[in-house]
Amino acid sequence: MKKYAPQIWQQTKSLISQDFDITVPVSLDGKNAYEQLKEWLSNIINEKIRYDLEGLLNILYRLDIAEKRAMAALNNETPEPVHYALADLIIEREIQKVHTRNWYKQRQNHFMELSTDANYEEVERW
């Protein structure tokens, strides 16, 4: 079972909501949250595969899902069914994006603190 900090989890659900233009249910929290989100998202993906494959491919492209991994899932070359494999890829990618954005935000805050300190010359050299 995969567990993430509540802040990371909320940001991940927010990104998924934005990317799919749909509201992620609030109930997808707590114990088994990852599995619940995966199940919910896999149903959305299954509908997209049936009725809007081009739209799904567009989402995968915008999310920057690794093409090889996406194609393996779409060609049913994964242990799980297509919609579950894609849900995993999407959730993991969104979590990566949250971690990366938070890291850059921390770095930016750190440099902003340096620039307001007497260490301004250190920031200038950077």
Residue 43 CA to residue 40 CA, distance in Å, equals: 5
Are the CB atoms for 84 and 108 separated by under 8 Å?
A: no
Write the pLDDT tens digit of every residue in 27-67.
767 778 889 899 999 999 999 999 999 999 999 999 999 99
Write the pLDDT tens digit of every residue in 79-105.
999 999 999 999 999 999 999 988 887
Cβ burial of 93 (10 Å; 0-12, 13-18, 19+) is: buried
Residue 106 CA to residue 48 CA, distance in Å, equals: 36
- Provide the whole-model pTM: 0.80
Contacts of 22 (CB under 8 A, 6+ apart): 44
Contacts of 43 (CB under 8 A, 6+ apart): 83
